[in-house]
Amino acid sequence: MTSKSNRIKLWEENCPVLKDSKFLQNYQLYEEIIGEGSFGTVIRAKCRCSQKLRAIKAIRRINKVDMLTIELELLSELGGHFNIVKLYDFFHFNGSVAIVLEYFPHCAATELLYHSKSDDKFALLYIRNLLTAVSYLHQNGYVHRDIKLSNFLYSHKTRSFRLVDFGLATIDRSKNEMSRNAAASAMCREGPCTVCDGFGTPCMFCGKKPKRENVHIVGTPGVRAPEILFGIGLCNPAIDIFSCGIVLLSLVSLKHPFFMPKDETENIYHLAFLLGSESIENMGRLEGLRVTLSEKLPPADYYHLVMSLRHGFQYMRMNFTPKKCQLCHKRSYNNPTGVCFCRENYQTNMFYTGENDKDIMTLYVDLLYRALEPDRFKRYTADQLLCVIESFDRRHNYVPKPLSNRDDD
């Protein structure tokens, strides 16, 4: 084996378990870092006994033992089934940890966009498999909390998938949350916000009323559900569904990452771009939070938005002749004629926005509206979204019987 890279040497020096004799007796490290997750780095290795490749998730220091315990319990119980990565072994030494997982060669995120561009049915294959894994997690009482393109791997060679990186996973504790009615009642008893006087941009002080426990916002910026940004529903399966919606939006619009917010405030505005500022404010009100956005944005029509990003605004202007919109001209790149992708009404034009109910883009739009629902209690579950896909399959594959004038047919 060639001399090890500086990065591998650094990891061996700072992660004692990688030099522990028990680990070295069983596994041989290669100098290839596969990826970096929430709490560790994944390194390629070989099992000395079976001679098969493995992925070693190395964690230098255990900051939260309970989260590691949940990850190991989850993988021990569910790993190897329904697109969940398989767990093989576990080592710990001097505060550091090595989790041995199956090695899964996979496409980069940019390659996923290429597959989606060349085959408009690829996103359906991807999201169906992702929802299958998420449904399996939720049915067994777990929440992933970091669903994104780089955490749901795809092998073009085997056409198979794996959900990885459970460093932020937790147990579904949604039944222990404060009820929304209680939170809303507490907000009514509070006086108006003295910081922004109702003219936030948005005002995070409004967002902190009524007083809630201090939490660290989890997940990756740009794919978080709106409630996560306000410290609500941190252990609710609905947050995974919203992230699945952003993943699907990235795939079908060929834009990854779809959002790159620099902070939580910008993340809220990005979501207002999709959901509309009124939806964000209403969502906060239902949760007992005063959220005020100074810029009023209408919700996006996902069909026009996806088609504009996938094919270009010129294509939309030539084929759909949408109305011109100065707001859409300002809030989108390379849209000189102001092709409009606003949704005129919050409640109408939400489903079947395409002209053909057998058009696969219509299916994607239906899934987006249901997965990116601002109200987490109205957001579809993974099983419900899979039912939407199955319904489309039945419509798409339906072949009517030939007409006959015989009464005994």
Q: Is 46 annotated as a binding residue?
A: no
Alpha helices in 175-324, H assignment, sequence order: 180-189, 204-207, 238-253, 264-275, 277-286, 302-311, 313-319
Tokens representing 100 are: 């041995």
Contact 368, 352 (CB under 8 A): no
Name the DSSP class of 157: T
238 C-beta neighbours (distance < 10 Å), count = 23
User: Using N-to-C axis directions, what is the helix angle for 180-189 and 277-286, rounded to 10°?
Assistant: 90
Task: Report the alpha-carbon distance of residue 61 to residue 323 in Å, rounded.
Answer: 56
What contacts 79, CB < 8 A, 6 or more positions away?
A: 85, 86, 87, 101
**Counting beta carbons within 10 angstroms of the beta carbon of residue 64, is it exposed (0 to 12), middle (13 to 18) or buried (19 or more)?**
exposed
Tokens representing 382 are: 């993974």
Q: Per the annotation, where are the binding residues?
A: 57
Q: Per the annotation, where are the binding residues for ATP?
A: 57
